Amino acid sequence: MSNKEKLISMGYKSYENDEIIVYWNPKLCQHATECIRGNAKVFDYERRPWIDLSYAPAKEIADIIDRCPSGALKYEYKD
Ligand code: SF4
């Protein structure tokens, strides 16, 4: 089972572009808003889908996800 399949089986949703896959689990999200403070265009809770990876470079998104306190957000770089 790939990492992606594993995380999706755990309840994560996935968002991806050519460089990075971002995962988010609504059951774990504590709405601490670190992500929105990090970049309110990538992470916009009013929009659907609420994560849009086109608004920032993959590295910036990864740095923001590293500050998520709950583990609701995860990422992996594509090869
Ligand atoms: S930083 Fe993590 S816990 Fe906080 S709102 Fe974003 S996804 Fe949810």
What residues line ligand 1, using a CB cutoff of 6 Å? 24, 29-35, 68-70, 72-73
Which pTM does this prediction carry? 0.96
- Residue whose entry in the numeric block shows the structure tokens 């910036």: 60
30: CB partners within 8 A, 6+ apart = 69, 70, 72
Distance 22 CA to ligand 1 centre (A): 13
3-state secondary structure of 41: coil
Provide the number of structural domains found in the chain.
1
Q: Provide the pLDDT for residue 79.
A: 84
Q: Provide the pLDDT for residue 27.
A: 97
Q: Domain span at residue 48?
A: 3-77
Which residue lies with its CA nearest to atom 8 of ligand 1? 29
Find the CATH number of the domain harbouring 13.
Answer: 3.30.70.20
Q: How far apart are CA 77 and CA 28, in angstroms?
A: 22
Give the mean pLDDT per block of 10 residues along the chain (79 residues).
Answer: 97 98 97 96 97 98 98 96
